[in-house]
C-alpha cells in the first residue's frame, strides 16, 4: 500500500580507500562509508539526470535534483524514482517519491524484507530477490577532478527507512602529458569484464559485491575528454570500472585530435577494488608508436547502430555503438558536451566518418548504411588536416568519390546533407556545391532557412532511413494460365497496367508451372528471371524474395493487381476475380542499419548551437522509436475520400492513374507519389479549383497544375518539391518559403502581387511573368540561369548576385535602369517595353539575342557583343547604329528610330532586316546575299526614290525578298510616294 513516510534523506558517501605508493591514490579521505537516509514518500519527483560531485577532501555530495532508484520488492523498470529536494550541493538531502508496500507511519517493514536504494536512477536497473542488476556505461565522459553525470554507482539497503549507501565500483585516476588527447580506452589484457551489466548483492559484512556471472558484459571502457575537447595536461580524470582482477595487466589506448592512436601496455597483474582508484600518471608519454586510426565499434546484435562525429577545427568522435534505450543517454551526454570553436573541417570529418563505418563490426543482416551531415557553411581547414589533396576542391571530389563508389560491409552508402547557411558564407555557390557533393543524390540534399526547420528535416531523414531498412517478400496466388501467357503484377495501385511504374512481369510456363523471363520494374528481387510456382489444385503461388523498391518505399498488398496480356487486342486485361486479401501477402522484415551523424560545432552557429544539439537528440530518439515500431503514423492516414482531398482534384488524379479510386483512397496511399501532372491546355482548360489534400503527398517532387482555376495552393508540407508549374490559374498569392528544394518554378499568368523567393536559393529557372508584381528580389537566387518576369509592374531589378544568368526576360515592366554588368554569362536579353534611357552591354560578350525595343535609348554600343545573331532595337531614339563588329547577325530590327545611315557591309549572314521608319536615304545590301526578308518602308529616300544597292537590280528583283508577306515596293512619306529602286 502507498503510505507517506516522513523525514529526511541523508546521503554521505564516504569511501574506504587504501594508500599505495605507486598504484593507488587515497582518493577519499573519510573512512566512514555511509550515513543514514530517511525517505518521505509524498510524490514522485521529476528532474533532469544529474551527478554526484566529488569534493577536494574526497567526500561526495548530492546535487539538486539528483535521482535514485528505490526498491521494496522485485521490479524490472528502475524501481521507484526519488528526487532530491535540496537547492544547493549538500551531503544531506531530502528525497521525495512514491513507494508501495510500506506500513503506516513508515517505520515497520516486513521482517526480513529490505528497502534498497541505487544511485543513479535508471530504467535499466532492476531488482530480484536480493540481487540488483545495474549498468555501467562502456562509453564515459570525463569531468575534471570528479565524476560525470550519473556515472559512479552506489547502493544501500536497510530494514527501515534509514539507508547507508556504499560504492560499487573503483577504477583508475589518470593524467596525460599531451594536450591533444581526446579519448582514452582502458581494458584488461585478458578480456576481463570492466563495464556493461552486472549483478550486485551484499556480502556478510553488508558491503556490496559484484557477482562473477556476466550479463551483457563489456571488456573495455572509453572515456572522452570533457566538452568533446581534449584532456588538460596535469589534471585528474577518472575511469569508473567494476571490481575485478586484471590477471595479465591492462592496456590504455590514447587517441588524439588528429586521429592518431598509441597504446601503453602494463603486463603487471592489477586489481580494481571497490572504492579504490589506481593512479596512472602520463602513460601517454610512454607510447612508442602513434598510428592513424579509425574508430571502430559496432556489434553483432540485430538493430540500429549509431556513431557521431562533432567537428570544428578538429573532429570529436563517438564510436559506433548499438542504439538502445539503455545506450541512448550515453549518446545524449556526448552531444550535450560538444562545444563550439572556430573552424569547420567538414570534408575531413566526413572522410573520417566513411573510414569509421568501414572498420566497425556489424550484424549479418545489415542493410542500410547512412551518413547524415549537418553543416552551417564552408570547409575551413580540411586540407590542413590532410594535405595530400592539396586544395579544397580536390578534397571535396575525393570525399564525393568515396561516398558514391566505396561500400560498407558490401552495402552502398546513403549520404544526406543538411545546410544552414551561416552569416560568414560569402561564396554561396560553394555552399551549395558542398551540400550536393556530400549527398548521395539530389533528393538527399537539404537546405534549411532557419534552425527551427532543422528538426523537421532530421525527422524526414529519419523516416526515410526507416523505410530503407526494410526487406520484403511478396507471395501472389493466381489460377494457372495458358502456356506462354504474359502476366503482370502491378504494385502501385494503378487503374491500367500501362500506367504502372512498379511491377513484376513474366511469361507463364504451363509445363513447369513457373514464370520465365521475369522482369522487375521499379524494384529488384533476389528471385531472378525464373520463379517456380507452388501448385494447389488449379492455383499457382509465386514467391518473390528480397524485394527492394528503387525509391526504398514499403509495399502494401492493398495495391497489388493481376493482369494478363491479350495478344489479339494488344492490351492488358485485369483479373477482376483476383482478391488481394485472399491471394496476396507481403511480408516485411526490418533489418539492421548503421548511421553516422556528422555535426558542425563551429562558432558561427552562435546561439543556435543548443538547438542543434536538441535537434540531434530528437533525431536519435526518432531513429530509436522507428526501430522499435513506435514511430508516428501519417496524420490523417485513416481518412477516406473527399473528406481529406478535394473531389475534383481526386477525380483528376484518378483519370491520370495516380490513384485507383477517388472515393476510397487514403492519405497513406498517396504519401509515396513523387510526380503529379493534372494540367489542362490552352484550348481545353482543367476544372480543378482547389488542391486540398496536396499536403499528404509528402514525397512529391514534381507538381504541374497549369491551365486550371486554382485560387490558392498550400504546399508547405511538400518540402521535396523540385519542380512546380502552377501557371495559368487564378492565384493571388504563392508561399514557397518551405519549398527550399525548388529548382524550377513557373507561376506565370496568375494574379500574384507579391512573390518571395528568398528561401529558394536552389532555383535555376523562375518564370513569374504576367502577374501583378511591383518588386522582385532575387539576390539569394544565385543559381538562376533563366528568369522571365515580363508583363509585371517592376520599377527596379537587382541582378548583381545572379552571375550565372543566361536568359533574361524583363520586358513590359516600368524599368528605368537595368544593370547587367555582373551577368557576363547572358546569352539572351529581352528588356523591351520599359523606360530605359541607356543600356550598358560592354560586359555581356556572350550575348546572342537582344530585344531592347520600345525604350528611350539614344545610343546603343554593341561593339563588344560579337556573338549577336538577333538584334531588336526598334522604337527607340537612336541616331546611329554601328554593327560592323556584329558579323554573326542574322536578324536586325531597328525600325522606328532616327537613323540616317546603316552600314551592313560586314553583316554577310543577315537573313532578315527591318529598318523602316528611320531617316535613311539609301541602303547598301550588296554583301547581304543571304537576305530573305527586307522591310525598309517609311524612310525619306532621295527625290522620291529609295535607292538600294544589291546583288540584283530592278530587272531581276530577288524573289527571296519580294515573296516576303510584308514586302512593299513603295510607300508614302511626307505626302509623297517613295519607290524602291534596286541597282547593282
Q: What is the DSSP string of 29-45?
A: -----------B-S---
Q: What is the band of 432 on the pLDDT scale with cuts at 50, 70, 90?
A: confident
Half-sphere exposure in the Cβ direction for 504 (13 Å, CA): 31
H runs (alpha helix) in 438-571: 454-467
Rounded-to-integer distance, Cα 221 and Cα 239, Å: 8
Rounded CA-CA distance 133/433 in Å is: 51
Show the cell assigned to 146. 570528479
More confident residue, 159 or 861: 861
Buried b (16+ CB within 10 A) or exposed e, 31-52: eebbbbbbbbbeeebeeeebbb
Count Cβ atoms within 10 A of the Cβ of residue 812 and give its class: 0-12 exposed, 13-18 middle, 19 or more buried.
buried
Looking at residue 590, its pLDDT comes to: 79
116 touches 127 (CB < 8 A)? yes
Asked whether the beta carbons of 796 and 836 are under 8 A apart, the reply is no
Q: How many CB atoms lie within 10 A of CB 762?
A: 22
More confident residue, 82 or 163: 82
Which three cell numbers mark 712?
A: 490558392
Mean pLDDT value of segment 353-372: 91
pLDDT value, residue 907: 98
| φ/ψ of residue 147, rounded to 5 | -110, 155
Preceding peptide of 120 cis, ω within 30°: yes
Backbone angles phi, psi at 127, to 5 degrees: -135, 135
User: Can you tell me the distance from the alpha carbon of 979 to that of 969, in angstroms, rounded to the nearest whole number?
Assistant: 6
Q: How confident is the model at residue 160 (pLDDT cuts 50, 70, 90)?
A: confident
> Which long-range contacts link 964-973 to residues 24+ away (Cβ below 8 Å)?
964/932, 964/933, 964/934, 964/935, 966/933, 966/935, 967/934, 967/935, 968/935, 968/937, 970/937, 971/937, 971/938, 973/938, 973/939, 973/940, 973/941
DSSP H helical ranges for 850-900: none
Instruction: Say whether pLDDT at 5 is over 90.
Output: no
- Give the mean pLDDT of the chain: 86
Q: Kindly report, residue by residue over 175-218, the tens digit of the pLDDT.
A: 999 999 988 999 999 999 999 899 999 999 889 999 998 888 88
Task: Tell me which DSSP letter residue 190 carries.
Answer: T
Q: Who wins on pLDDT, 643 or 790?
A: 790
Range of lowest pLDDT (36-45, 55-64, 218-227): 36-45
> At 433, which helix (H) or strand (E)?
helix 428-437
Residue 666 CA to residue 636 CA, distance in Å, equals: 8
Position 823 pLDDT exceeds 80: yes
As beta bridge partners, residue 946 has: 980
Q: Are 296 and 356 in contact (CB under 8 A)?
A: yes
pLDDT score for 198: 94
Alpha-carbon span 511 to 973, nearest angstrom: 92
Residue 980 backbone dihedrals phi, psi, to 5 degrees: -80, 135
pLDDT tens digits, residue range 957-984? Answer: 888 888 877 888 999 999 999 999 999 9
What's the rounded Cα separation, in Å, for the pair 620 and 144?
28
| Least reliable range by pLDDT among 77-91, 204-218, 295-309 | 77-91
pLDDT at 10: 25
Q: What three-state secondary structure class fits 901?
A: coil
User: 115-124: per-residue pLDDT in tens?
Assistant: 888 988 887 7
Helical ranges in 315-412 per DSSP H: 328-336, 346-359, 382-385, 392-405
Query: 80-84 and 95-96 as β-strands: parallel, antiparallel, unpaired?
Result: antiparallel
Cell numbers for 240, please give them. Answer: 569508473
**What mean pLDDT do residues 391-399 have?**
93
Give the residue-averaged pLDDT of 226-240: 86
Residue 237's pLDDT band (cuts 50, 70, 90): very high
Give the highest mean pLDDT range of 246-250, 449-453, 640-644, 696-700. 246-250
List the helix and strand counts (H, then E) for the chain.
Answer: 10, 59
Alpha-carbon distances of 395 from 74, 348, 371, 380, rounded to whole Å: 58, 8, 18, 12
User: What is the biggest distance separating any 2 CA atoms in the chain, rounded to whole angstroms?
Assistant: 134
Asked if 541 and 522 touch (Cβ cutoff 8 Å), the reply is: no
pLDDT band for position 22 (50/70/90)?
Answer: very low
Q: Is the pLDDT of residue 157 over 90?
A: no
Residue pLDDT, tens place only, 71-80: 888 888 888 8
Helix (H, G, I), strand (E, B) or coil at 428: helix
HSE of 391, CA atoms in CB hemisphere, 13 A = 3
> How far does Cα 84 stand from its chain's mean position?
41
User: What count of Cα atoms within 13 Å lies in the side-chain half-sphere of residue 239?
Assistant: 28
CB atoms closer than 10 angstroms to residue 59: 17
Each residue's pLDDT tens digit, 520-549: 998 999 999 999 999 999 999 999 998 888
How far is Cα 962 from Cα 958, in angstroms, rounded to an integer? 7
C-alpha cell at 913: 532586316
Q: How far is CA 270 from CA 23, 174, 273, 373, 681, in A?
A: 9, 15, 10, 43, 84
Q: What's the mean pLDDT in 734-758?
A: 95
Placement of cell 590477471 in the chain: 247
Report the alpha-carbon distance of residue 220 to residue 240 in Å, rounded: 11
Amino acid at each position: 500500500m502507498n503510505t507517506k513516510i516522513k523525514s529526511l534523506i541523508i546521503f554521505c558517501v564516504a569511501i574506504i580507500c587504501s594508500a599505495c605508493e605507486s598504484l593507488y591514490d587515497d582518493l577519499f579521505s573519510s573512512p566512514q562509508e555511509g550515513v543514514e537516509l530517511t525517505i518521505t514518500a509524498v510524490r514522485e519527483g521529476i528532474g533532469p539526470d544529474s551527478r554526484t560531485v566529488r569534493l577536494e577532501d574526497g567526500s561526495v555530495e548530492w546535487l539538486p535534483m539528483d535521482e535514485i532508484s528505490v526498491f521494496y520488492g522485485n521490479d524490472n523498470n528502475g524501481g521507484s524514482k526519488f528526487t532530491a529536494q535540496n537547492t544547493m550541493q549538500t551531503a544531506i538531502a531530502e528525497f521525495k517519491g512514491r513507494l508501495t508496500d510500506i506500513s503506516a507511519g513508515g517505520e515497520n517493514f516486513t521482517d526480513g524484507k529490505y528497502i534498497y536504494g541505487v544511485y543513479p536512477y535508471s530504467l535499466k536497473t532492476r531488482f530480484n530477490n536480493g540481487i540488483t542488476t545495474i549498468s555501467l556505461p562502456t562509453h564515459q565522459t570525463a569531468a575534471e577532478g570528479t565524476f560525470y553525470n550519473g556515472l559512479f554507482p552506489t547502493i544501500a539497503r536497510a530494514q527501515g527507512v534509514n539507508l547507508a549507501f556504499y560504492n560499487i565500483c573503483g577504477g583508475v585516476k589518470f593524467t596525460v602529458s599531451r594536450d591533444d588527447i581526446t579519448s582514452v580506452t582502458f581494458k584488461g589484457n585478458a578480456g576481463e569484464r570492466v563495464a556493461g551489466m552486472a549483478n550486485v548483492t551484499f556480502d556478510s559484512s553488508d558491503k556490496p559485491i559484484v557477482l562473477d556471472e556476466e550479463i551483457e558484459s563489456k571488456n573495455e571502457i572509453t572515456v572522452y575528454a570533457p566538452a568533446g575537447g581534449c584532456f588538460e595536461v596535469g589534471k585528474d580524470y577518472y575511469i569508473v570500472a567494476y571490481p575485478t582482477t586484471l590477471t595479465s595487466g591492462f592496456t590504455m589506448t590514447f587517441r588524439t585530435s588528429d586521429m592518431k592512436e598509441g597504446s601503453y601496455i602494463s603486463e603487471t597483474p592489477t586489481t580494481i577494488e571497490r572504492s579504490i582508484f589506481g593512479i596512472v600518471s602520463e602513460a601517454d608519454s610512454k607510447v612508442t608508436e602513434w598510428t592513424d586510426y579509425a574508430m571502430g565499434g559496432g556489434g553483432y546484435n540485430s538493430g540500429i547502430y549509431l556513431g557521431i562525429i562533432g567537428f570544428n577545427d578538429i573532429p570529436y568522435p563517438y564510436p559506433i555503438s548499438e542504439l538502445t534505450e539503455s545506450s541512448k543517454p550515453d549518446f545524449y551526454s556526448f552531444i550535450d558536451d560538444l562545444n563550439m570553436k572556430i573552424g569547420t573541417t567538414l570534408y575531413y570529418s566526413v572522410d573520417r566518418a566513411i573510414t569509421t563505418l568501414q572498420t566497425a563490426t556489424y550484424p549479418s543482416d545489415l542493410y542500410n548504411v547512412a551518413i547524415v551531415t549537418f553543416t552551417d557553411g564552408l570547409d575551413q581547414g580540411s586540407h590542413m588536416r590532410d594535405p595530400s589533396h592539396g586544395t579544397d576542391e580536390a578534397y571535396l571530389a575525393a570525399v564525393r568519390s568515396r561516398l558514391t563508389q566505396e561500400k560498407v560491409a558490401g552495402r552502398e552508402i546513403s549520404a544526406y546533407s543538411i545546410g544552414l547557411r551561416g552569416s560568414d558564407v560569402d561564396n554561396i555557390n560553394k555552399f551549395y556545391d558542398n551540400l550536393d557533393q556530400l549527398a548521395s543524390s539530389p533528393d538527399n540534399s537539404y537546405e534549411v532557412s532557419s534552425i527551427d526547420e532543422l528538426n523537421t528535416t532530421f525527422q524526414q531523414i529519419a523516416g526515410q532511413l526507416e523505410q530503407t531498412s526494410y526487406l520484403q517478400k511478396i507471395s501472389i496466388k493466381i489460377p494457372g494460365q495458358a502456356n506462354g501467357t504474359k502476366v503482370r503484377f502491378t504494385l502501385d495501385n494503378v487503374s491500367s497496367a500501362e500506367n504502372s511504374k512498379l511491377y513484376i512481369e513474366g511469361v507463364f510456363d504451363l509445363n513447369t508451372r513457373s514464370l520465365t523471363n521475369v522482369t522487375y520494374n521499379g524494384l529488384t528481387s533476389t528471385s531472378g528471371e525464373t520463379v517456380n510456382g507452388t501448385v494447389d489444385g488449379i492455383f499457382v503461388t509465386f514467391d518473390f524474395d528480397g524485394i527492394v523498391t528503387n525509391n526504398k518505399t514499403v509495399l502494401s498488398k492493398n495495391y497489388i493487381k493481376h493482369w494478363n496480356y491479350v495478344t489479339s487486342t494488344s492490351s492488358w486485361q485485369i483479373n477482376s476475380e483476383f482478391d488481394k486479401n485472399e491471394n496476396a501477402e507481403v511480408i516485411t522484415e526490418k533489418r539492421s542499419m548503421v548511421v553516422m551523424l556528422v555535426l558542425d560545432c563551429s562558432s558561427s552557429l552562435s546561439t543556435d548551437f543548443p538547438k542543434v544539439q536538441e535537434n540531434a537528440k530528437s533525431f536519435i530518439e526518432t531513429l530509436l522509436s522507428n526501430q522499435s515500431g513506435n514511430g508516428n503514423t501519417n496524420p490523417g492516414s485513416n481518412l477516406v475520400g473527399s473528406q481529406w482531398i478535394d473531389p475534383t482534384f481526386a477525380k483528376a488524379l484518378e483519370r491520370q492513374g495516380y490513384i485507383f479510386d477517388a472515393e476510397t483512397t487514403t492519405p497513406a496511399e498517396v504519401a509515396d507519389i513523387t510526380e503529379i501532372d493534372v494540367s489542362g491546355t490552352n484550348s481545353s482548360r482543367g476544372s480543378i479549383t482547389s488542391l486540398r489534400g496536396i499536403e499528404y503527398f509528402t514525397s512529391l517532387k514534381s507538381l504541374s497544375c497549369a491551365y486550371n482555376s486554382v485560387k490558392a495552393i498550400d504546399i508547405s508540407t511538400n518540402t521535396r518539391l523540385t519542380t512546380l508549374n502552377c501557371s495559368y490559374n487564378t492565384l493571388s498569392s504563392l508561399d514557397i518559403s518551405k519549398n527550399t528544394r525548388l529548382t524550377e518554378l513557373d507561376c506565370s499568368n496568375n494574379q500574384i502581387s507579391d512573390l518571395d523567393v528568398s528561401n529558394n536559393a536552389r532555383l535555376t529557372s523562375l518564370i513569374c511573368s504576367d502577374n501583378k508584381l511591383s518588386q522582385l528580389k532575387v539576390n539569394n537566387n544565385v543559381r538562376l540561369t533563366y528568369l522571365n518576369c515580363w508583363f509585371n509592374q517592376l520599377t527596379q531589378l537587382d541582378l548583381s548576385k545572379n552571375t550565372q544568368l543566361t536568359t533574361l526576360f524583363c520586358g513590359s515592366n516600368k524599368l528605368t535602369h537595368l544593370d547587367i554588368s555582373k551577368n557576363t554569362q547572358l546569352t539572351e536579353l529581352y528588356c523591351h517595353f520599359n523606360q530605359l534611357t541607356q543600356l550598358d552591354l560592354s560586359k555581356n560578350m556572350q550575348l546572342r539575342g537582344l530585344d531592347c525595343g520600345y525604350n528611350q535609348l539614344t545610343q546603343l554600343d554593341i561593339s563588344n557583343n560579337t556573338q549577336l545573331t538577333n538584334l531588336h532595337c526598334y522604337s527607340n531614339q537612336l541616331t546611329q547604329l554601328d554593327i560592323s563588329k556584329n558579323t554573326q547577325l542574322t536578324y536586325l530590327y531597328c525600325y522606328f528610330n532616327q537613323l540616317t545611315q546603316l552600314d551592313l557591309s560586314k553583316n554577310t549572314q543577315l537573313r532578315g532586316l527591318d529598318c523602316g521608319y528611320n531617316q535613311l536615304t539609301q541602303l547598301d545590301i550588296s554583301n547581304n546575299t543571304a537576305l530573305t526578308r527586307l522591310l525598309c518602308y517609311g524612310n525619306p529616300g532621295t527625290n522620291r526614290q529609295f535607292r538600294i544597292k544589291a546583288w540584283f537590280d530592278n530587272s531581276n528583283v530577288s524573289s527571296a525578298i519580294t515573296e516576303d508577306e510584308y514586302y512593299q515596293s513603295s510607300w508614302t512619306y511626307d505626302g509623297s510616294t517613295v519607290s524602291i529602286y534596286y541597282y547593282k
